[in-house]
Amino acid sequence: MASFIAQYISDVHELNAYLAGKPVVLDGSSLSLPQIAAIALYPPSPPSHTSVPPTITCAPSLELTSSQYQRERVAASREVIETKVAAGLSIYGVSTGFGGSADTRTDDPLALGAALLQHQHAGVILPSTASAPSHLVGPMPLTDPTHGTTMPATWTRAAMLIRANSLLRGHSGVRWTLVEKMVECIRKGLVPVVPLRGSISASGDLSPLSYVAGMLIGNPAIRTVNFTYPPPGTTMEVMSAPHAFRATGTTPLPLASKEHLGILNGTAFSAGLTSLVVRNTETIGVLGAVLTALAVEAMNGARGSFDPFVGEARPHIGQIEAAHLIYELLAGSQFAVDHEEEVKIEEDDGVLRQDRYSLRTAPQWLGPQFEELKHAKETVQIEINSTTDNPLVEPPRTPTGDGKIHHAGNFQALAMTVAMDHLRLALAQIGRLMFVQLTEILNPLMNRGLPGNLAGGEAALDFGGKGLDIAAAAYAGELNALGGMNVGVGVVSAEMHNQSLNSLALVSARYTLAALEVSELLAASHIYILCQALDLRAIQTEMYSRAGAVVRSVLSETFRDAFATPESLDTVTCRVTPRILNELDQTTSVALGLRMAKAASAAVAPLLEALTSDPSCCVSTLDLPQIARFREILAQRLEALLTELRCAFMGVSLEEVYSSSSSPPQLPMFGIPPMGRAPASKYLASRTRPLYEFVRLELGIPMHGSDNLRKTVYGMRAPGLGKTVDTTHGDKVAMIVEALRNGRIARVVARMCEGIDA
């Protein structure tokens, strides 16, 4: 069986194929999650006279199978119903009442069907306050008065597609024309307005599906929208079903016996929303591993934590897949530690010997979630290609045989509930991992030398990602609450105690969607923070690679007579530089000038020790003014070096930074060229680089800190002064959230994982 990652990549490619023009063909047995996403999420092409913006992707065409065998099965199941009705036989839902009222009898199946729709049209849909009479207008509502009580059109389109797929299986006793009418409505974008709440998902999603049935027959009480791209500046217009049908040239379909129940008695809404949630949750699951790889790079973590031997020693499939993915993603990274060197005890005194749990145990944490995601997908894949009616109609198996009516319970959707309850917990667990990684990367006590809060500018005037840290805690807390919620155990008896066991699958799917949306906020925040951390790690790397030359230059300049040979100068440089770098690691939250003064002061003790212990060094001429001058010059040079690096990484000129300085240094001192819009790219692994570059280059989100360096943050110089056009941290995260929801990041992630065979 294909790995979770391989299935994910396949799903992304499949959706891309439909968006490129491949038609979705309904045949009753091969409906897939990418097909549901293609039809549900992308509006059909509007009428020819409506211009569609060139950036809009419209849904692919939807076709019914051309299989004659399938048509014959549908016709045979319909004939069973018609034959038994003509013979005056009693059939549940055709001659009897429904559920606990099944002890009533009638010989008028059409009136019975109409009564079924009537009593199921019980969902609460609040009217818009805009349409309320002026004398009734009161306080503003706490939520949107319409959308707070109705389902998005995407859910309903998914449900209609799944119900049509189920009906053409030939087990429901309906006509082929009914399936054709549902497909026609999907193609034209006709969607009934369906109440958000009210379904217990057993017997199926009766109430929501009753609104689909009401639209199909043209009931004027059923509100309908046309789900195509509206003209710019407008929204989907809500109208009566007859009005919507006339506007699109559609003819209502009067239903025949059993067809009312054939539409209502199924799990299509639960399965539809579950399908959409599972598909998007797959991206969050894979991102858990992808962002872990980026976090390892940002934190100079060890690739060895994901070595194949670890999985061989504990062969849980999900753990092995997660570790393998992270291990392969990190191949070639200049930030991650590929081969850990063994050192003496005294050589790593005070150093964290291994990575923290958020990195080192990520495969063990993500592995169970991979397995849950895979199981959830398998469960919903079965559901969307099943018949969930009651009663079931079994067509004759031979030309002379009799068909059978089966009274059973395929409408019981607990399989969906269990999948959603488990998936909600999985999202909370993945979110916990992302949150811990994010907070550790922001914390200067844990992030291995990065600035506190990942500030790009001056520590005292730039608090970087602190606000996102707080927001992430809110997201994680909400995910914990949602993850701990078990909808499946909250069942109460319904409908004269007939529906004493009911799944609440649609309720569970709704809560899981809420968890998914919170997870997307958290994942997007983590992506934003990681990109900032990678840029800062690149600055640190560039700084440290140049620091030795700066130290050597200042040593040579201030202690010219102390070094008899270039080799002795090199020896002292090698003794002094590590202490300076260590001090820089420990003082990232200190103001720049003071930080560099501390770093220069840290060099004094090893400098004196080196000079006095090396026979080739002449120390007789050393005096205190020389040492003081060394510290002063070194601090100035290090400050200039870091300032030039910051400017090069953020596209800021040195003149802008020093514009308010009374004594700016001679510029430029090091001549560092601009580093471009994705400066950390050259350090990243080839497989992790695409997501970083997507954020920096395609979304155009730059490294944070340029405004702080210039001191042009709005209101920083004086009230009301500063930049007048800018975006907030939240605006930038929102761009990433949108890229998550519209599938752009999924396509990037699939490319990153392509060819990694687990």
Task: Residue 211: give its domain's CATH number.
Answer: 1.10.275.10
Let me know if residue 636 belongs to a domain: no
Question: Residue 615: pLDDT above 90?
Answer: no
Q: 488 Cβ partners below 8 Å, 6+ apart?
A: 414, 417, 418, 421, 503, 504, 508
Q: pLDDT band at residue 400, thresholds of 50, 70 and 90?
A: confident
Q: What is the rounded distance in angstroms from the CA atom of residue 41 to the CA atom of residue 39?
A: 6
Let me know if residue 387 belongs to a domain: yes
Tokens read off for 595: 């930080």
Please indicate, yes or no, whether residues 172 and 296 belong to a single structural domain of this protein: no
Handedness of CA 14, 16, 22, 23 (dihedral sign): positive
* pLDDT greater at residue 563 or residue 578: 578
pLDDT of residue 506: 94
Please indicate, yes or no, whether residues 397 and 439 belong to a single structural domain of this protein: yes
Question: Residue 543: pLDDT above 60?
Answer: yes
Where are the strands (E) in 400-533, listed by range?
404-406
* pLDDT greater at residue 137 or residue 294: 294
Q: What average pLDDT does range 435-444 have in this prediction?
A: 97
Which residue carries 């400017």 as its tokens?
647
Let me know if residue 372 belongs to a domain: yes
Which residue carries 């006509």 as its tokens?
175
Let me know if residue 642 belongs to a domain: no
Q: What average pLDDT does range 618-634 have in this prediction?
A: 81
Tokens read off for 661: 């300085």
Percent of the chain having pLDDT more than 90?
A: 70
**CA 394 from centre of chain:** 42
Q: What is the rounded distance in angstroms from the CA atom of residue 248 to the CA atom of residue 231?
A: 16
Please indicate, yes or no, whether residues 471 and 432 belong to a single structural domain of this protein: yes
Please indicate, yes or no, whether residues 84 and 164 belong to a single structural domain of this protein: yes
Q: At 447, which CATH number?
A: 1.20.200.10
Please indicate, yes or no, whether residues 361 and 259 belong to a single structural domain of this protein: no
Question: Residue 721: pLDDT above 60?
Answer: no
Let me know if residue 589 belongs to a domain: no
Please indicate, yes or no, whether residues 77 and 214 belong to a single structural domain of this protein: yes
Among residues 240, 266, 292, which one ends one of the domains? 266
Q: pLDDT band at residue 458, thresholds of 50, 70 and 90?
A: confident
**Which tens digits make up the pLDDT trace of 171-199?**
999 999 999 999 999 999 999 999 999 98
Where are the strands (E) in 557-690, listed by range?
none
Q: pLDDT band at residue 129, thresholds of 50, 70 and 90?
A: very low
Phi, psi (degrees; rounded to nearest 5) at 25: -115, 120
**Which tens digits make up the pLDDT trace of 131-159?**
555 555 567 777 777 678 899 999 999 99
Among residues 266, 294, 325, which one ends one of the domains? 266
As a three-state string, the secondary structure of 556-569 is HHHCHHHECCHHHH
Q: pLDDT band at residue 353, thresholds of 50, 70 and 90?
A: low
Q: What average pLDDT does range 23-33 have in this prediction?
A: 97
pLDDT of residue 130: 43
pLDDT of residue 681: 98
Average pLDDT along the chain: 90
Where are the strands (E) in 201-255, listed by range?
223-226, 239-240
Question: Residue 297: pLDDT above 80?
Answer: yes
Q: What is the rounded distance in angstroms from the CA atom of residue 295 to the CA atom of residue 288?
A: 10
Q: What is the rounded distance in angstroms from the CA atom of residue 339 to the CA atom of residue 302?
A: 8
Judge whether 658 and 667 are in contact, CB under 8 Å. yes
Please indicate, yes or no, whether residues 194 and 289 belong to a single structural domain of this protein: no
Please indicate, yes or no, whether residues 230 and 298 belong to a single structural domain of this protein: no
Least confident of 58-62, 156-160, 527-531, 567-571: 58-62
As a three-state string, the secondary structure of 350-377 is CCCCCCCHHHHCHHHHHHHHHHHHHHHH
Q: What average pLDDT does range 347-357 have in this prediction?
A: 75
Please indicate, yes or no, whether residues 289 and 320 belong to a single structural domain of this protein: yes
How many domains would you assign to the chain?
2
pLDDT of residue 452: 92
Please indicate, yes or no, whether residues 262 and 287 belong to a single structural domain of this protein: no
Tell me which of 8, 42, 69, 92 is the catalytic residue.
92
Using alpha carbons, select from 181, 159, 168, 162 the residue that is nearest to residue 78: 168
Please indicate, yes or no, whether residues 162 and 310 belong to a single structural domain of this protein: no
Question: Residue 57: pLDDT above 80?
Answer: no
Q: pLDDT band at residue 389, thresholds of 50, 70 and 90?
A: very high
End-to-end CA distance of the chain: 11
> Does the annotation count 714 as an active-site position?
no
Q: What average pLDDT does range 302-329 have in this prediction?
A: 96
Among residues 239, 266, 293, which one ends one of the domains? 266
Q: What average pLDDT does range 516-523 have in this prediction?
A: 98
pLDDT of residue 81: 93
Judge whether 504 and 270 are in contact, CB under 8 Å. no
Q: What is the rounded distance in angstroms from the CA atom of residue 292 to the CA atom of residue 299?
A: 10
Least confident of 4-13, 139-148, 303-312, 589-598: 139-148
Let me know if residue 133 belongs to a domain: no
**Which tens digits make up the pLDDT trace of 645-688?**
999 999 998 888 887 666 666 667 888 999 999 999 999 999 99
Please indicate, yes or no, whether residues 21 and 169 belong to a single structural domain of this protein: yes
Q: Which long-range contacts (CB under 8 A, 24 or more apart) does 578-582 make?
A: 579/603, 579/605, 579/606, 580/547, 580/551, 580/634, 580/638, 581/544, 581/547
Let me know if residue 351 belongs to a domain: no
Question: Residue 44: pLDDT above 60?
Answer: yes
Q: Which pTM value belongs to this model?
A: 0.93
Let me know if residue 682 belongs to a domain: no
Question: Residue 735: pLDDT above 50?
Answer: yes
Domain, as residue range, for 114: 4-126+150-266
The two beta strands, 223-226 and 190-192, are antiparallel
